Amino acid sequence: GSTTPYEDAPYASTSQFTNPLCQGTSASSTQVHGGIYSYSLTSGPEPTQQEAELLFINFRDVHLRYFPFVDLSQYASALQMRQERPFLWLCIMAISTRSRPLQLDMSERIRWIISQKLMMEHERNMDYLLGLIAFMAWINVQPGSKPFFCFYTQLAIALVYDLGLTKELSKFSTPLLYWKSIGLNNPYSAVSPPRTMEERRTVLAAYLLSATVASFVKKMDSMRWTKHMDDCLDVLEKSKVIPNDRTLIAMVRMQLIHDEAISIYSPRDAMGWAAPPPTLYIKALYSKLHAVYQALAPEVKANDIVACRLHDTELAIHESAISQAHSPTNFPNTQRLEALFACLNSIKSWFDLALVIPLSTCPDYGLTFFTQMSHCAINLHRLQTIDDPIWDIATARTIIDLPQVLEKLAVRCTVAADLATASPNDNEEFTFVRAAKMLRMMKSFWEKDMTERMAKARREATGLPTPATQGTSVPLDGVELADFDGELLDDEWFAHVFTPMDL
Mean pLDDT of 127-152: 84
Tell me how far apart the alpha carbons of residues 466 and 453 are, in angstroms, rounded to a whole number.
11
Overall size of the chain counted in residues: 503
Q: Please state, for a pLDDT cut of 90, what percent of the chain lies above it.
A: 41
CA distances from 245 to 65, 164, 241, 301 (A): 11, 21, 7, 14
CB-based burial label for 13 (10 Å; 0-12, 13-18, 19+): exposed
Q: Does 21 have pLDDT greater than 50?
A: no
Nearest residue to 89 via CA among 110, 67, 120: 110
Tell me how far apart the alpha carbons of residues 365 and 130 are, in angstroms, rounded to a whole number.
18
User: Do residues 139 and 500 lie in contact, with contact meaning Cβ atoms separated by under 8 Å?
Assistant: yes
C-beta atoms surrounding 329 within 10 Å: 7
Between 101 and 231, the higher pLDDT residue? 231
User: Do residues 26 and 38 lie in contact, with contact meaning Cβ atoms separated by under 8 Å?
Assistant: yes
Tell me how far apart the alpha carbons of residues 195 and 198 are, in angstroms, rounded to a whole number.
8
User: Do residues 281 and 264 lie in contact, with contact meaning Cβ atoms separated by under 8 Å?
Assistant: yes
- Sequence ranges of the domains in the chain: 1-171+195-241
Kind of pairing between the strands at 475-476 and 35-37: unpaired
Tell me how far apart the alpha carbons of residues 442 and 453 are, in angstroms, rounded to a whole number.
16
Between 308 and 268, the higher pLDDT residue? 308
Mean pLDDT of 118-129: 93
CA distances from 205 to 51, 70, 101, 276, 491 (A): 27, 8, 29, 32, 22
Tell me how far apart the alpha carbons of residues 36 and 38 are, in angstroms, rounded to a whole number.
7
Kind of pairing between the strands at 30-32 and 475-476: unpaired
Helix or strand (DSSP H, E) at 480: strand 479-480
Most confident among 63-77, 412-426, 469-483 (mean pLDDT): 63-77
Predicted confidence band of residue 475 (pLDDT cuts 50, 70, 90)? very low
In three-state secondary structure terms, 222 is: coil
Lowest mean pLDDT among 135-139, 184-188, 317-321: 184-188
| Alpha-helical regions (H) of 224-303 | 227-239, 243-265, 279-294, 298-301
pTM: 0.81
Nearest residue to 348 via CA among 399, 403, 286, 303: 399
Residues 40-91 have pLDDT tens digits of: 676 778 899 999 999 999 999 999 999 999 999 999 999 999 999 999 999 9
User: Do residues 173 and 40 lie in contact, with contact meaning Cβ atoms separated by under 8 Å?
Assistant: no
Between 496 and 26, the higher pLDDT residue? 496
Predicted confidence band of residue 20 (pLDDT cuts 50, 70, 90)? very low
Q: What is the DSSP letter of 40?
A: B
| Alpha-helical regions (H) of 355-430 | 367-383, 393-399, 402-420
User: Do residues 166 and 203 lie in contact, with contact meaning Cβ atoms separated by under 8 Å?
Assistant: yes
Residues 241-287 have pLDDT tens digits of: 788 999 999 999 999 999 998 887 665 544 556 666 777 788 899 99
Q: At what angle do helices 304-318 and 279-294 cross, to 10 degrees?
A: 170
Tell me how far apart the alpha carbons of residues 379 and 253 are, in angstroms, rounded to a whole number.
23
Tell me how far apart the alpha carbons of residues 307 and 296 are, in angstroms, rounded to a whole number.
11
User: Do residues 46 and 17 lie in contact, with contact meaning Cβ atoms separated by under 8 Å?
Assistant: yes
pLDDT score, position 36: 38
pLDDT score, position 298: 92
pLDDT score, position 268: 52
